[in-house]
A and B are shown apart, each in its own frame.
Chain A
């Protein structure tokens, strides 16, 4: 499943990475504790979080995530966007809650097939 399909289905706002939407999303992970994300998420995951500070970029980049979705309409901090550009990490914003965002992405990945 490419990132563009998920962006379109959920109406996600693209804050960085309009040119990176052909990336393949193989799964998802929801978490706000960075150690939890480091230990349990996988390469190719779309990471759903409400953390907006710049340290999320290092985590997403080290784990080779497909991108980051910020929930509840939370916008990324300015230095987060700078780092996202440097590390090529797509940053998307969902107006839905974390629960609804994860539910919809889960459905797309598992019902329509990854």
Chain B
């Protein structure tokens, strides 16, 4: 958490939540925590809805495909920045991974209703800015910005 709310780019809230790869028992916990925090900060329900979706899909991706990772969230006066950074196999063909319906999920993951090939598309659709980069054999980095409109969403 920072401090100087008068500085232009000061964080009103900042935290880094670890996410365990492969552990579906805990999947969604980080997103629930983030949602509760934003609710306490009195962000608009529209912003909370979008941040919750973006963080949930990112969290599920780490659980489904990576060894471990974390979600880093920063709430600034004008936007929420969400980053999902993982250590895992990475994505060899990002263009393919971004295609709706394309997935490398195992049968086990699909049976639970995950791995439908919608996650990255959802993240992109619900963000104002979205960037994905990946190193094969190392991991993947997602960066999303959701803008806060002072009139409609003002904190």
Residues of A within 8 A of B (CB): 32-36, 38-39, 43, 49, 51, 53-55, 57-59, 61-63, 79, 87
Contacts and interface: CB of A to CB of B under 8 A. Distances in A.
Interface of B: 24-25, 27-29, 31-32, 35, 45, 49, 52-53, 56-57, 60, 112-114, 116, 118-119, 122, 125-126
Contact of B118 (A35, A49, A57, A87): A35
B102 to A, nearest CB: 13
Contacts of B125: 39
Q: Interface of chain A, helix or strand or loop or mixed?
A: helix
Contacts of B32: 58, 61-62, 87
A35 B125 CA distance: 12
A58 B122 contact: no
Contacts of B28: 55, 57-59, 62
Contacts of A57: 28
A38 B112 contact: no
22 contacts: A33-B113, A34-B114, A35-B118, A35-B119, A38-B57, A39-B53, A51-B112, A51-B113, A54-B24, A54-B25, A55-B27, A55-B113, A55-B114, A58-B31, A58-B32, A59-B28, A62-B28, A62-B32, A62-B52, A62-B56, A63-B49, A79-B25
A68 B45 CA distance: 21
A41 to B, nearest CB: 11
Given A43-B45, A58-B31, A53 B112 contact: yes
Contacts of B25: 54, 79
Contact of A36 (B49, B52, B118): B118
Contacts of B52: 62-63
A106 B122 CA distance: 26
Q: Interface of chain B, helix or strand or loop or mixed?
A: helix
Contacts of B113: 32-34, 49, 51, 55
Nearest to A61: B32
Contacts of B35: 62
A58 to B, nearest CB: 3
A87 B126 CA distance: 25
Nearest to A58: B28
**Most chain B beta-carbon neighbours within 10 Å: one of A34, A35, A79:** A35
Contact of B53 (A32, A38, A51): A38
A35 B116 contact: yes
Given A54-B25, A55-B27, A62-B56, A36 B112 contact: no
Given A38-B53, A39-B122, A43-B49, 14 more contacts: A33-B113, A34-B60, A34-B113, A34-B116, A35-B122, A39-B53, A49-B113, A53-B112, A55-B24, A55-B112, A57-B28, A61-B32, A63-B52, A79-B25
